Amino acid sequence: MAAREFDLEIAAIDATLVSIEKVLDLPKLHKQSIELEEQAGVPNLWDDPESAQKITSRLSRVQSEITKLESLRRRVEELPILFELAASEPDGSGMS
């Protein structure tokens, strides 16, 4: 695959990820995480175990979504660097 083709593939992957980020609303997820962390930090949280379970479960889900999205973003941003490293292999073995 030529460099231009890799660039196009990376751009397509990035565009898909941008769409996913918009749908999941990453800034909103961060805001929810902060709010849930505050709720989970209340000293008497476990006075109502059912409510505490809902808060901590929701916090866990939100943080998991954030982690997944941020990890994907980092990986997509690293793709051009990885491609460049593979292309610079003297025997070309990184591109096969």
Instruction: Enter the pTM of the model.
Output: 0.81
pLDDT at position 31: 98
Neighbouring CB atoms inside 10 A of 62's CB total 20
d(CA 86, CA 92): 8
At 30-86, the pLDDT tens digits run 999 999 999 999 999 999 999 999 999 999 999 999 999 999 999 999 999 988 888
d(CA 37, CA 39): 5
pLDDT higher than threshold 60 for residue 96: no
Quote the radius of gyration of the chain (alpha carbons, Å): 20
Expressed as residue numbers, the domain containing 77 is: 3-95
Q: What is the CATH number of the domain that holds 79?
A: 1.20.58.410
Structural domain tally of the chain? 1
pLDDT at position 85: 86
Cβ distance 79 to 10 under 8 Å?
yes
pLDDT at position 4: 77
Q: Using CA of residue 6, residue 8, residue 11, residue 12, what is the dihedral sign?
A: negative
pLDDT higher than threshold 90 for residue 28: yes
